[in-house]
């Protein structure tokens, strides 16, 4: 049998920063595993979802809208273009840059990724009621908004 002090949770394990970090690590693992099951990555989802929401755009605009750094954007566009999920075409107003657009295959892949992401969210938030889930989302959004403005 364990001594009482070993069964007691240490104080640092209840710090919000620790709890957020550990939960974020679990979320990252679950999302990564879900996307890997269909040979995809988080950048793939973010790029496809951004194209679906905003339409065709330059790589620079897609980077700003999706939060994907330009160096990662090039590799992501290349991967998705090789799979036929996006197309690149010269920008008619500036031939030096490309416009990236979503293909029908990209739309199908996005729907598949959204199903995996929904299952991931369900697994991550399983112990919470629908009301608690919404409260958590609201609180995390408020924290992120505050620190994004700082």
Q: Is the dihedral of CA 126, 115, 60, 80 positive or negative?
A: positive
pTM of the model: 0.85
Query: Would you place residue 4 in the very low, low, confident or very high pLDDT band (cuts 50, 70, 90)?
Result: low
Read off φ and ψ for residue 99, nearest 5 degrees.
-105, 130
- How many residues appear in the chain? 150
Q: Is residue 56 part of a domain?
A: yes
Identify the residue with better confidence: 94 or 111. Answer: 111
- Rounded mean pLDDT of the chain? 93
Query: Is 14 within the bounds of a domain?
Result: no
Residue-number span of the structural domain to which 63 is assigned: 36-124
Cα dist. 80→30, 34, 90, 116 in Å?
22, 18, 17, 18
Whole-angstrom distance, CA of residue 84 vs CA of residue 76 = 12
Number of domains present in the structure of the chain: 1
Assess if residue 8 is contained within a domain: no
């Amino acid at each position: 049998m364990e001594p009482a002090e070993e069964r007691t949770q240490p104080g640092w394990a209840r710090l919000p920063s620790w709890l957020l970090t550990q939960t974020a690590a679990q979320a990252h693992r679950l999302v990564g595993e879900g996307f890997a099951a269909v040979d995809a990555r988080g950048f793939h989802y973010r790029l496809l979802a951004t194209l679906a929401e905003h339409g065709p755009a330059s790589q620079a605009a897609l980077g700003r809208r999706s939060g994907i750094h330009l160096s990662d954007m090039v590799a992501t566009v290349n991967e998705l273009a090789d799979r036929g999920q996006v197309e690149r075409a010269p920008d008619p107003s500036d031939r030096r840059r490309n416009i990236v657009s979503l293909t029908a295959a990209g739309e199908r892949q996005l729907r598949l990724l959204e199903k995996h992401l929904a299952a991931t969210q369900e697994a991550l938030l399983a112990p919470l009621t629908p009301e608690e889930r919404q409260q958590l989302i609201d609180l995390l959004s408020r924290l992120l908004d505050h620190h994004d403005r700082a």
